[in-house]
Amino acid sequence: MRLPFVAGNWKMNTTVSEAEQLVVEMIERLDRTEGVEKVLCPPFVSLVPISMMLQGSSIKLGAQNMYFEAAGAYTGEISPLMLRELCEFVILGHSERRAYFNETDEMVNKKVRAALKNELKPILCIGERLAENESGKTEEVVSRQLRKALEGIETGALNIAKKLVIAYEPVWAIGTGKAASGKQAAATIHFVRDVLAQIWNDGIAQDLRVLYGGSVTSANIAEFVSYPEIDGALVGGASLKADEFVSIARQTAEIKGKKSS
C-alpha cells in the first residue's frame, strides 16, 4: 500500500509574510485531510517561520533545492545539514533547475545521494521536453534521467522506497496550462516503475511513490489520481491558492481511499 502524496512547489513566489498568510489560509483544512501525505515547499527564506507554524500539524515541509556539499565556501548555496533541521523533503532535479541553472544528471545524482545520506527525502523530478516527446523519445529520456540520478544508491540499508518519491513532470506541461492526459501520464509512470524494477527490484518499484506534475489543478486532479499507477501530484501554480491546494489534497485522499476500500 502506497500512501497518496501531494506536494505544493511554490517556486520563487511569496515573500515571508505572504507565505505565512498562505499557510494560515490552508493549515486547518489541510491538516484535517487524512489519507494523503501533504507537503509544502516554500522558498528557503520561509522555511524557518513555516516550520514553526506547522509544528503539531500533519503537514510536512520540503525545500525546493539544495547543494550536495555539507558545508564550505559555496556562496549562496544551502546544504543538506541546514535543511534537515527544518524539513523532511527536498525537491531535486526540477526541470527549471535543469533548464535555467544548468543542473546535469550528474549533479542531480550527487544531490540525491547527499539528501539520502543526511536523512532528507528527495522528491526527484524527471520528464521529457516537448521536442523529445514529439520525436518519441519520452521513455529514453525518462530512463536516462532515472538511471543517472539513482546511480550508486544502495537500497537495503536505506529503505529506499520509504525515502524517495519520484515526480514525473513532462516539461511541456509545466506552467503551461496544458497538462498531460491521465492516460499518457499513467503509461509513462508505469514505464518508470519498470525502470525502477530494473535498477533495484520489483518490490521497491511497487512500494515507491510516483507522482504526476504539470498544470495540475482542482479541475483535473481526479483524472490523474484515478489511475492506480499515479500516487498523487507535485503542484506548482495551483498550490499558491489555498482553496485549490486543499481541494487537490482532498480529492486525492477521497479517490485513493475509495479505490483501496
Q: Check residue 216 for interaction with ligand PGA (CB under 6 A).
A: yes
Instruction: Give the range of 169-177, 181-189, 202-210, 220-228 binding ligand PGA by CB under 6 A.
Output: 169-177
Active site residue 169: yes
Q: Is residue 62 close enough to count as binding ligand PGA by CB under 6 A?
A: no
- Residues numbered 114 to 153 that lie near ligand PGA (CB under 6 A) are none
- CA nearest 246: which of 22, 30, 9, 4? 30
236 closest CA partner among 6, 32, 26 = 6
> For residue 239, what are the contacts with CB-CB under 8 A and spacing of at least 6?
7, 8, 9, 10, 40, 245, 248
The residue (of 33 and 95) whose beta carbon lies closer to ligand PGA is 95
* 190 is an active site residue: no
Indicate whether 9 belongs to the interface with ligand PGA (CB under 6 A): yes
* Binding flag, residue 65, ligand PGA (CB under 6 A): no
Angle (CA) 109-131-232 rounded to 5° is: 55
Burial of 18 (0-12, 13-18, 19+ CB in 10 A): middle
- Across-strand partners of 125? 167
As measured in angstroms, the least distance from the Cβ of 214 to ligand PGA is 5
169 near 141, Cβ under 8 Å?
no
* Residues 112, 83: Cα–Cα separation, whole Å: 14
Chosen residue from 26, 149, 174, 185 binding ligand PGA by CB under 6 A: 174
Q: What are the CB-based long-range contacts (under 8 Å, 24+) for 194-201?
A: 195/142, 195/143, 195/146, 195/147, 196/146, 196/166, 199/146, 199/147, 199/150, 200/155, 200/160, 201/155
169 versus 200: smaller Cβ distance to ligand PGA: 169
Tell me: does residue 175 bind ligand PGA (CB under 6 A).
yes
237 binds ligand PGA (CB under 6 A): yes
Among 4, 170, 232, 236, binds ligand PGA (CB under 6 A): 236
Q: Under the criterion CB under 6 A, does residue 93 sit at the interface with ligand PGA?
A: no
Binding to ligand PGA by residue 215, rule CB under 6 A?
yes
Set 132, 169, 229, 244: catalytic member: 169
Minimum CB separation of residue 219 from ligand PGA in Å reads: 12
Catalytic residue numbers read 94, 169
Residues lying near ligand PGA in the complex (CB under 6 A): 9, 169, 174-175, 213-216, 234-238
